[in-house]
Structure 1
């Protein structure tokens, strides 16, 4: 990798790096007219029992890492679906089912091995190249090419989880359940992803809720908000972690074109909860149904709880670039559009921008009305659309820009004429 970077420095060709495969958006891990650098062979998974750490390569997927670690009863704080790739996930911060216990995935990193813009191979830890270490914990790809991650090993045995499907007619109940679950977070071992979907030309509105409990069985009432809503399919049970990861992959629509985007909101209080949560849903839904004539279109919005406990744990471990504070509970939205044919790219591009812009406008309108408090609302890089501005929503931008200029004074890694990513907009 060092040699590759040095050679690229002598050319003016566009280039890109592809790791295990995380962000499906246009321009991510792809290039035209230049070399695509694959990390597929950087696929080691090494468990160090004495230090209770795990070293793994960026070319891996989470299901393969989980398989390799199963005999040892340990896991990486990592992806929630098995086929998700490692590299982009880790560099974007990484939201995990275990984040309420251990923070972001990046909080669990103890060492990065990274090739910088001049081809140097560096180790970055909290004591060696510590500024680079801090910026790699969720700051994306503009600081170098990471060739391995070493993280804490976390104990894991059988877990409880899977998913339930609910009809779209349960939307008001689902939105209330998500709000209440986030505010009254029941147990750090518990997690959910609540996803509303529009498919089959808007004929099928459904909710798919992914459940997780880090143990063989959740205590009674852990998920009471959702237990009280009638479902049509229940696929939750006790499983091994590797089995759960692969089972969750069933909702990955292979051979479709995917786009993802995001927005962040403060959690509304109970008094205005129904009004605010339903407005978020309605803002998304009117855009989602507008693409019903696009062949193969599936639109979804995931409500991802971001309780105060996650930034609290992150802060205690040194924090990540994504500077959520622990003053309020939040929800991180993931917006997805998938479809079959490239001829619809421009149409989906427009509707994605409209969807996240109008959702953000809805958040700000409620803040102006006093129905949501003012709060810091950064964007979660792992769910961002390629047109969104990660660094423009952070308070700590200048610190990390200084680190970038130190290790890459010419801006080679973030030259948007040659490569793409979530870089600082000048």
Structure 2
């Protein structure tokens, strides 16, 4: 039976302007789902946990209520109630995206997907299913008992929404991006309809959902993906002091250009700390994440392992251990006032070295205004783009590798005044914008700031705009959440 508010809406239309929209939506949802699935107690531990984010700037936003759906039907009811009340809302998986209002909301409805956590494996088809609740570490732990895994995040604490934005994995050089392994998605559309998206059912929606941005076209409530075999990995972290920084940067460039072993994967992370330089270079280090699918990497990493270093944790690991590698210096592991920006560069020239110089100069000019500054090198080898194409491609329609993304991370001190915070963010934005990105290559949604408009760098942008209009014709998701722009 429809609640009074639903019935009244049939006469008056959306009634958010006649009452406080968030509380009204919460009341409607509670009447439909029951109080056990709706939390309005802002002082409760559960509420507090749901409003914690990797980027702590999002912690300040307090929803009118938090909904914990346990099925696609619950999500459908919730979206319909939000629409009737004309309320703002957000959908939260792992809460790792630092863009404001992408998974946070103030005085609206927060849909927390943590209770959607079922997983399964079919040994006959080798297909795996998982729901969006929890983090990839939980998923890896589940599938390892079958000697299988899925292509997902490189760190265990990252949520499943990463896959909708592409999803770079240590397995990507072999199997493509995380979204390339999708075989079927259960999606709740903006109007509340529950549909299946695959290559044969709603194929346009399926295409857009593979790397076209999380929660842009609906709420994914179940993933069916191609699982992958896993055994032992040679993996670990190597940390280098400042005298080796240029040697390692050169080794990263050579790896991007010349490595052809799809089992070998790296992330190179250049860290700058706020400590005074004193001409001693004690404020910087480079951390290499090295992962090989197999116990013997041969000479795949020799350009890194042969360089003098401070710390090495390399050795034989299981895949869950790879995702749990010691990450005290890794940017993704630390909550804070974090923000991402992204760049993209080709492997056949040295344009990235200009970006590196610009970044280094900015770091020196802004001492004391950050607690951590990081520049991450993320290779996209040809084996990755070939694997993507072999599975039908994704929303990026990735051009042939090799090329690479640069991820810029800025962590600012807590307690900064609003003018100081705005000034450093503006300066950081301008610094990244001043670097030269390669034409014809897509920006990586997972690492992009909203004002970079990453979707507009996709060759498929016009196609994605049409799909967005088809499945969200009145811009409900675009107007009521803080997601990617299709304008």
Give the TM-score normalised by structure 2.
Answer: 0.79
Quick one: distance in 1 between partners of 2:177 and 2:234? Answer: 21
Is 1:154 paired with 2:228?
yes
Alignment partner of 1:207 is 2:280: no
**Cα offsets for 1:65-90 (capped at 9, x unmatched):** 11111111000011101101112x01
**Do structure 1's residue 413 and structure 2's residue 477 form an aligned pair?**
yes
Q: Of 239, 243, 247, which aligns to 2:321?
A: 243
1:280 paired to 2:355: yes
- Secondary structure of the residue aligned to 2:436 is helix
Corresponding position of 2:408: 335
1:134-283 matches, cutoff 5 A: 134-140=207-213, 141-203=215-277, 204-219=283-298, 221-250=299-328, 251=330, 252-269=332-349, 273=350, 276-283=351-358
Give distance in 2, aligned partners of 1:80 and 1:346.
Answer: 35
For the 8 Å contact 2:274–2:368, the answer to whether it is kept is: no
Alignment partner of 2:486: what SS? coil
Counterparts in 2 of 1:128 and 1:22: CA distance versus 1, 3 Å: same
Tell me, what secondary structure is at the counterpart of 1:40? helix
Q: Compared with structure 1, are the counterparts of its residues 349 and 323 closer, same or farther at alpha carbon in structure 2 (3 Å cutoff)?
A: farther
Judging changes above 3 Å, is the alpha-carbon distance between structure 1 residues 336 and 345 closer, same or farther for their aligned structure 2 residues? farther
1:201 is displaced (CA, Å) by 2.4
Distance 1:106 1:359 in 2: 27
Structure 1 residue 109, shift from structure 2 partner: 0.4
Q: Which runs of 5+ in 1 are unaligned?
A: 365-373
Indicate yes or no: 2:115 matched with 1:37.
no
1:243 to 1:345, Cα distance in 2 relative to 1, 3 A: farther
Does structure 2 conserve the Cα–Cα contact (< 8 Å) formed by 1:202 and 1:289? Answer: no
Residue 337 of structure 1, CA deviation: 1.1
Q: 1:12 aligns with which of 70, 78, 86?
A: 86
Name the structure 2 match of 1:93: 166
Conserved 8 A contact 1:335-1:356? no
Deviates more, 1:251-260 or 1:25-34: 251-260
Shift of 1:314: 0.9
Aligned to 1:400, the other structure's residue is in SS state: helix
Q: How does 1:2-81 map to 2 (within 5 A)?
A: 2-81=76-155
Contact 1:143/1:413 (<8 A) preserved: yes
Aligned counterparts of 2:156 and 2:289: Cα–Cα separation in 1: 13
- Conserved 8 A contact 1:262-1:356: no
The two structures, once aligned, show a CA RMSD in angstroms of 1.9
Q: 1:378 to 1:167 in 2, by over 3 A?
A: same
Q: Which structure has the larger Rg over C-alpha atoms?
A: 2
* Aligned 8 A contact 1:198 1:289 in 2: no
Structure 1 distance, partners of 2:422, 2:445, is 18
Q: Which residue of 2 aligns with 1:369?
A: none
Q: How many residues align?
A: 405
Partner of 1:370: none
The CA deviation at 1:213 is: 0.5
Alignment match, 1:117: 190
Deviations 1:290-321 (A, max 9, x none): 33213x61000001111222222211211111
In 2: Cα distance, 1:385 partner to 1:346 partner: 20
Contact 1:258 1:337 in 2 (8 A): yes
Greater RCO between the two (CA within 8 Å, min separation 6)? Answer: 1
CA distance in 1, matches of 2:387, 2:485: 27
| TM-score, normalization by structure 1 | 0.90
Q: Is contact 1:197-1:300 (8 Å) kept? A: yes
Q: Flag structure 2 segments of 5+ consecutive residues without an equivalent.
A: 1-74, 278-282
Query: Which residue number corresponds to residue 446 of structure 2?
Result: 382
- Separation of aligned partners in 1, 2:467 and 2:274: 48
- Check 1:155–1:400 CA distance in 2 against 1; reply closer, same or farther (3 A cut): same
- The CA distance in 1 between the partners of 2:390 and 2:178, in whole Å, is 14
Match of 1:422 in 2: 484
Aligned pair in 2 of structure 1 residues 64, 163: CA closer, same or farther (>3 Å)? same
1:106 aligns with 179
**How much does 1:260 deviate?**
1.0
